[in-house]
Chain A
């Protein structure tokens, strides 16, 4: 092979979908084998493994080439996405080999997210199956525009044209709603190599391309077209006082030196003065280029900002609709705060509405309250601050996001934005003339949320009551929210499932926030068992206005006290989802104050809370017009 022509090659990334029964791994093995990328020592390992785990008798089992993990070889299935590399004289290929079973939907979506095209396998003996529909739907959802439908094991139906045409008819019938730009059906036998890389005489009735020809000739460049310029700032490059540049990769479109740009979120404008790379300064940067942009003006820009052209900006919104694929074992809970990553930006976000979930096999819409692992739903989301975004269909780079569980840091969900719900740029908050500072001087103290968390029976409410009495007698404006005054009214519609507990705490947090806006000290006494929700309330208010008080009473002690007889009933199975019995309590890792009620009296516990408020200078702002009362001041 001529080395120089190799240098001119382009790159195509594609995924293969299908289960082991369809011969997916065998097909990839065949592509590698026929393009001579399987080497002698790998062949020796393969021959050894084929005898041990293989399913092809004395023949080499090509599937074993790609199933890389021990568990996969033992079970004969693909669990994880594996990336394979091969090349023809015309192109280099990166194949994402993805598992086909429904419980691995997330792995397939992962493979599809970085692919330009998909090869969907169908077993010629079985035709279009539920899994074919599922694979096609997920490909379409992840924005794959070109698919090859490889009708495999054609050898087992005697290379019959009629069977092929029948299956193709079925496939086109259902796939036309999926919006693919092109669908190419190809009859193949992965095991014997027919029509994979070489044309087969046994399939002389077929006039289309071989699978390799399809992959070599597919034009994906024109898909990218002339999209609007988007540049998520990744890293501020500041080696010395004389240079300040913004490093990142052009997500779409192009920009030239001298062109005007705008920072999407702030609306500030400037011009590109230089496009810097280590090789040379460039006149122009295009989609995919990793560059450093220097601007003509000093503009406040940080990692996470998106640069665009002033006349063609992304939306900047704090609410949007999206398809969400759930990827964590723990179900998605509407209302819970997750960390969202979009572009180079991390921002807290929550699902405000789950409109419905989608059955991945039938594409039917189903009513749902949560999403479990591998489920897909249509949701509205809200972010804590506005973010720049585009619909996924228009821009994969600026329309995709992931959600991260804030406690485990696992990647919990992957989303594709449908559209922004409200243009934040058109919505201005009412500017209020009486603000928190004005109220602070009137009240003589700062507003704060005192959040008491702990098991049922730990003493939260008793201590909160004592603290409130003490504050009140000192002249502070207080209000106490607890299960009794909230569950019977505002949250009457909520039960004790995880989802309802999240919503309960969210509403309490919002109410408490309004009270702090009014300048008050709000005491909240709730079991609030989950770290994520406590964190969510903390982030609703400015730093320092949320104080987490962990009433740390061991479960055995709470059970012994059992003031309301609830533990006895929970243990008898009469109450479900009881924290500490059959529902978890996540202990605060770093509470602002921990009260060990086995060591402290109730009065001592209350005094510790007051002492913390003094130490944090919540109290003692005096000077209001209230000389007639005894105050803290």
Chain B
């Protein structure tokens, strides 16, 4: 059963999605395979029922997603009959950019931010849904639900349109696009409780299981394949871990956990004392790191 609180969030998100379908010529939904994307996709199926969601999914594939994530993606697409566009920055691949040798910053810049911009330009999408939530991070707390990007996809945090009531301003000037965040007002706990209430499939990596990990800079990094070399002194060990947030595999740290069911995950989260993005290595460069990436066009 959904609580009154979850029903209100669900209705608000559905309203946002319908608004995009009604107002934009060529929308797309960014699908990152994680739990937030899962909820977003589920809401899209509900919002347009009995019609199908009138937009494709776009997955920006850096080539470094966990293998479990790609399997999950293909299963979901097949089950619901979505059209999936998987986009990889071919130029980045040709330049040999990767998270291990190039470092997290350059890798994220080229294979995620640049790739996303290329994909949006190539298909001419005027609106792109993202699953970001305001409770994730401080600069996201200030982002609009309909967040206008200037030509070049940059975000100007000091020049955002005021957003009153549910009266979204969907008008764009030539060259502008909009990122739309239907889960803006959801928290991590809401996402998990809704996932449980609606029985939404999630990637198995969220559940605790014995996995091969190495301890690096105080974080547990899973070796998903042979591309990640061991540093001197590092030893691969089998530990029971799970992920709270999923990104590229060498850049997403696991937490030790025994939580192997949705109920256990929710119980664990209610007593947790660290934030979900603490395992995202790309965030911790400095306090305003997310704001900078977002200005450049990151989701």
B45 within 8 A of A: yes
A288 within 8 A of B: yes
Bound complex: CA of A411 vs CA of B135, how far in Å?
A: 25
| Majority secondary structure of chain A interface residues (helix, strand, loop or mixed) | mixed
Bound complex: CA of A447 vs CA of B51, how far in Å?
A: 45
**A71 and B134 contact, CB distance less than 8 A:** no
**B50 and A396 contact, CB distance less than 8 A:** no
Residue ID in chain A nearest B148 by CB atoms: A409
Query: Which residues of A sit under 8 angstroms from B11, Cβ to Cβ?
Result: 249, 288-290
**A239 and B287 contact, CB distance less than 8 A:** no
B147 within 8 A of A: no
Given A82-B141, A83-B184, decide whether A40 and B274 contact each other with a Cβ distance below 8 A: yes
B200 within 8 A of A: no
Bound complex: CA of A343 vs CA of B10, how far in Å?
A: 19
Given A41-B275, A69-B291, decide whether A279 and B158 contact each other with a Cβ distance below 8 A: no
Determine how close the nearest CB of chain B comes to the CB of A205; give it in whole angstroms: 36
Given A235-B22, A289-B11, decide whether A339 and B171 contact each other with a Cβ distance below 8 A: yes
Tell me the count of chain A residues lying within 8 A, CB to CB, of chain B.
Answer: 74
The digit string for B32-57, where 1 denotes a CB below 8 A from any CB of A, is 00000000000001111111100000
Bound complex: CA of A235 vs CA of B46, how far in Å?
A: 14
Bound complex: CA of A239 vs CA of B12, how far in Å?
A: 22
Bound complex: CA of A624 vs CA of B97, how far in Å?
A: 76
**B162 and A107 contact, CB distance less than 8 A:** yes
Query: Which residues of A sit under 8 angstroms from B166, Cβ to Cβ?
Result: 114, 249, 397
Residue ID in chain A nearest B188 by CB atoms: A85
Query: Which residues of A sit under 8 angstroms from B275, Cβ to Cβ?
Result: 39, 41-42
Query: Which residues of A sit under 8 angstroms from B46, Cβ to Cβ?
Result: 277-279
**A68 and B138 contact, CB distance less than 8 A:** yes
A-B contact count, CB below 8 Å? 179
B163 within 8 A of A: yes
**B134 and A400 contact, CB distance less than 8 A:** no
B96 within 8 A of A: no
Bound complex: CA of A278 vs CA of B47, how far in Å?
A: 8
Residue ID in chain A nearest B173 by CB atoms: A409
Given A42-B275, A404-B169, decide whether A48 and B287 contact each other with a Cβ distance below 8 A: yes
Query: Which residues of B sit under 8 angstroms from A327, Cβ to Cβ?
Result: 162
**B162 and A106 contact, CB distance less than 8 A:** yes
**A235 and B18 contact, CB distance less than 8 A:** yes
Greatest chain A CB density within 10 A among B10, B12, B162, B273 is at B162
Greatest chain A CB density within 10 A among B138, B189, B275 is at B138
Residue ID in chain A nearest B270 by CB atoms: A1
B160 within 8 A of A: yes
Bound complex: CA of A396 vs CA of B165, how far in Å?
A: 8
**A400 and B291 contact, CB distance less than 8 A:** no
Determine how close the nearest CB of chain A comes to the CB of B45; give it in whole angstroms: 7
**A290 and B288 contact, CB distance less than 8 A:** no
**B15 and A113 contact, CB distance less than 8 A:** no
**A39 and B273 contact, CB distance less than 8 A:** yes
**B142 and A344 contact, CB distance less than 8 A:** no
B164 within 8 A of A: yes
Bound complex: CA of A276 vs CA of B14, how far in Å?
A: 14
B102 within 8 A of A: no
Bound complex: CA of A243 vs CA of B49, how far in Å?
A: 11
Query: Which residues of B sit under 8 angstroms from A69, Cβ to Cβ?
Result: 138-139, 142, 157-158, 291
**B141 and A68 contact, CB distance less than 8 A:** yes
**B157 and A109 contact, CB distance less than 8 A:** no
**B167 and A341 contact, CB distance less than 8 A:** yes
Cβ < 8 Å to B, chain A residues 303-347: 303, 327, 339, 341-342, 344
Cβ < 8 Å to A, chain B residues 267-299: 267, 270, 272-275, 278, 287-288, 291
Bound complex: CA of A401 vs CA of B160, how far in Å?
A: 18
Determine how close the nearest CB of chain B comes to the CB of A431; give it in whole angstroms: 35
Q: Which of B164, B270, B288 contacts A110 (CB 8 A)?
A: B164
How extensive is the interface on chain B, given as a class? 35 or more
**B187 and A85 contact, CB distance less than 8 A:** yes
**B138 and A113 contact, CB distance less than 8 A:** no
Residue ID in chain A nearest B51 by CB atoms: A239
Bound complex: CA of A85 vs CA of B166, how far in Å?
A: 19
B5 within 8 A of A: yes
Q: Which of A49, A84, A292 contacts B141 (CB 8 A)?
A: A84
**B169 and A402 contact, CB distance less than 8 A:** yes
B257 within 8 A of A: no
Given A11-B4, A39-B275, decide whether A411 and B169 contact each other with a Cβ distance below 8 A: yes
B19 within 8 A of A: yes
Stretch in contact with the other chain, from A2-10, A55-63, A261-269: A2-10
Determine how close the nearest CB of chain B comes to the CB of A394; give it in whole angstroms: 15
Q: Which of B171, B266, B278 contacts A41 (CB 8 A)?
A: B278
Given A80-B160, A278-B46, decide whether A239 and B52 contact each other with a Cβ distance below 8 A: yes
Bound complex: CA of A132 vs CA of B165, how far in Å?
A: 23
Residue ID in chain A nearest B174 by CB atoms: A589
Bound complex: CA of A235 vs CA of B21, how far in Å?
A: 8
Query: Which residues of B sit under 8 angstroms from A290, Cβ to Cβ?
Result: 10-12, 14-15, 18, 47
Question: What is the interface of chain A, defined by CB distance below 8 A to chain B?
Answer: 1, 3, 6-11, 39-42, 45, 48-49, 65-71, 73, 79-85, 87, 92, 94, 106-107, 109-110, 113-114, 234-235, 237-239, 243, 245, 247-249, 276-279, 288-290, 292, 303, 327, 339, 341-342, 344, 396-397, 400-402, 404, 408-411, 414
Question: What is the interface of chain B, defined by CB distance below 8 A to chain A?
Answer: 1, 3-12, 14-15, 18-19, 21-22, 45-52, 134-135, 138-142, 157-158, 160-167, 169, 171-173, 176, 184-185, 187, 189, 193, 197, 263, 266-267, 270, 272-275, 278, 287-288, 291
In the A-B complex, the 4 residue pairs with the smallest Cβ-Cβ separation, listed nearest first, are: A68-B138, A278-B49, A278-B46, A239-B51
Known: A92-B5, A235-B22. 6 other contacts (CB 8 A): A66-B141, A69-B142, A73-B287, A81-B142, A85-B134, A109-B164
Could you list some 9 contacts between A and B, CB below 8 A?
A7-B6, A39-B272, A70-B288, A81-B142, A106-B162, A109-B162, A237-B51, A249-B14, A402-B169
